[in-house]
A and B are shown apart, each in its own frame.
Chain A
C-alpha cells in the first residue's frame, strides 16, 4: 500500500517535471526564434494609403519675431488643419530655410492641439522662410510604416531682433512704477514731518517682552536667520531685525546666540551683533562665539540647533528668515523646551508650521515690515505706508477685475496675462 502511493507520487512528479520542461522549452524557442516581426503584407499598397491619408495643411499661418526677447527667436502660429477633426493629422512639422527656394529642413515639431511654435535657433538679423506641414503617419516599433505630409505655403523672410523693452512685462513695469512712486512719496512725506498711523503687529510688539523674559529668567536668546544666503531678501530683512533684537539684548545685558548656516550670513550677523553691543556701550560683553557657523547642510543644521536648544534651554527663540522643511523640526523642539518663540518667514508653505508651533508669527509682508516698524524711523515707516497704498491698489484692481469678468469684459485678464 505504501509502495503503491510512492509509485503514484513518483509518476505524477515525473509527469509534472516533463510537462513544465516542455513548456519552458516552448517559451524559450518562441522568444528566440519567433521574434515579433512586423506583419506587413507584401501586397499592401503604401502609395494608395499615403495618397488617401494626405492631410490638408494648417491655415492662417503667422510668422513673426518673438516680442520682448534678446533676439534669436521667431514665433510661428497657425490655425489647425481642417483634417485634424478627421484624425488625419498626428503632428505638425515646422520647416525652415534661409532661401525661398529651399531646401527646407525640420526646425521643430508639435503634437496635435498645439498651434504655435517658437524657433529658438534663429540667428539674429538673418531672414528665414518657414512652412508648416500637417503630418499623418503610422508607426510600428518606433519606425514609420508610412507617412504623408500636407505642406503650407512659404512665409517670410522674418528676421529676429533684440528688443529694448520686454513688452510682456509691461503690466509688472506699470505696477512697480505705481508702487515705487507711492513708497517714495510717503517717504518724503514722512521726512517732511507728516505722521502716519501704522497698524500694530502683535509679533513685532512682543519682541521687547520676549527679550525681557530671557533677561528675567537669566537664560540666552537664540536667533535663527534661516538657511538661505545673503542673496535672499528674507535673509537681508532678517539681518536688520537681528540688529534691533541684538540691541534690546545688549541693553538688557542678555546673551544672544546666532548659529548660522551660511558663511556670508555669519560675517554679516557678527557685524550686526558686535555693533549692537558697541552702540549700547557694552563692547566687552560681545563674544566671538555668539555668532557661529554650523553647516551649510539643511538637516545637519536642524540637528545642531535642536541639540543646542535641548542642552542650553534658551528662554526666547527668534526664527526669522527663509525656512524650508527644517522649520517644524526646529520650532517643535523650541516649543518642547518651553521657550517663547517668534517666527517670521515669507515661505507660504512653512507658515502653517510656524503658526502651529510658535507663539507669534510674522506672516509674509510683516517680516519685511518688522525692521522699519522696530526702528520707528519716519522715513522707514513712510515706506510701510506706501506698501499699504500698494495693497489698496491691488484690492481695487481685484474688485474691478471681478466686476469686468462678471460682465464678460476680459480686459483685466488680458492685461494680467500680457
Chain B
C-alpha cells in the first residue's frame, strides 16, 4: 500500500491536470487552482520540516564541535534575530493604530531586510559578473573548430551590440554593418539552436510526465 496509494494519487492528479488543459468547462477549469492551492498548503507546512532540520543539524554540529562549527553558531544567531524581530513587529503592528505589517517600511524587520539581507544578496549577484568573465575566457579559447566558431560568433555579437561596431564598419552599406551581423547571428543560428533544444525539452517533459503518471517511473517515491 505504501507504493500503490502515492502511485494512484499521482495517476489521478496527473490525468485530471491533463484533461483540464483541454476541457475548459466546469469543474475541470477549477482543477489547476485547486491543485496549486493544495501544493501551496502542503509546502507551507513543510517549511517547518526544513527549518527544524536546519536548527537540528546546526545545533548538533555546535555541541559536537564538528569542523566549521562557528558557522553554525552564526546560522542560529541570524535565524533567532530575524525570527524574533519578525514576530515582535508583527505582534506590535497587530495592536497598533493604524495597524501595520512587520514588513512595512520603518519596522526593525524592514531595517534588517534593507541593510543586511539586501546588500548580502546583491553581493552574491554581483559576483556573477566576475564568474561570467572567467567562464567566457575558458569557453572562448580556440582549442578546436567548435570553440573557434563560438569565439568568432561571440566576437561579432559583442562588437555588434556596442556603437563602436557600427562606427568601425560605417563605410559599408547598412545591411552589412556589424550590428546587422550580430542581429543575424542572434536571430537565425541562435534562435534555430534554441528552438531545437526547446523541442527536445518539450518531448522529454511529455515522456517523463507520462512515465510518472502511468507509474512506470516511481523511483522518486523512494521505492525503486
Give residues in A with beta carbon < 8 Å to B.
68-70, 162-166, 169, 172-173, 176, 179-180, 183-184, 187, 229, 231, 233, 236-237, 239-240, 243-244, 262-264, 266-268, 271-272, 274-275, 279, 288-289, 292-297, 299-300, 302-303, 307, 311, 325, 328-329, 331-332, 335, 346, 348, 351-353, 355-357, 363-369, 371-372, 375, 379-380, 383-384, 386-387, 390-391, 394
Contact = CB atoms under 8 A, between A and B. Distances in A.
B24 to A, nearest CB: 4
A311 B68 contact: yes
Contact of A293 (B54, B120, B139): B54
B181 to A, nearest CB: 20
30 contacts: A68-B24, A70-B25, A162-B25, A162-B26, A163-B24, A166-B22, A176-B206, A180-B206, A236-B212, A243-B219, A263-B51, A264-B43, A267-B49, A268-B222, A289-B60, A299-B120, A302-B124, A325-B128, A331-B135, A346-B204, A351-B197, A352-B139, A355-B139, A356-B138, A356-B139, A364-B198, A368-B201, A368-B204, A368-B205, A369-B207
A264 B46 contact: yes
Main secondary structure of the interface of A (DSSP, over half): helix
A398 B42 CA distance: 43
Given A70-B26, A236-B212, A272 B207 contact: no
B54 A292 contact: yes
Interface of B: 21-26, 29, 39, 42-43, 46-51, 53-54, 56-57, 60-61, 67-68, 71, 120-121, 124-125, 127-128, 131-132, 134-136, 138-139, 194, 197-201, 203-212, 214, 216-217, 219-224
Given A229-B43, A240-B217, A391 B22 contact: no
Contacts of A295: 54
A263 B203 contact: no
A372 B135 contact: no
A-B residue pairs, 9 tightest by C-beta: A368-B204, A263-B50, A271-B222, A365-B200, A365-B204, A293-B50, A299-B124, A356-B139, A263-B46
Contacts of B39: 229, 231
A6 B210 CA distance: 94
Given A70-B25, A266-B53, A267-B46, A303 B203 contact: no
Contact of B135 (A240, A272, A279, A357): A357
Nearest to A388: B203
Given A163-B24, A184-B214, A346-B205, 18 more contacts: A69-B24, A183-B210, A233-B209, A233-B212, A236-B212, A267-B49, A296-B47, A299-B120, A303-B120, A325-B125, A348-B194, A355-B139, A356-B136, A367-B204, A368-B207, A371-B219, A383-B216, A391-B203
Contacts of A165: 22-23
Contacts of A384: 207
A371 B68 CA distance: 35
B210 to A, nearest CB: 6
A348 B43 contact: no
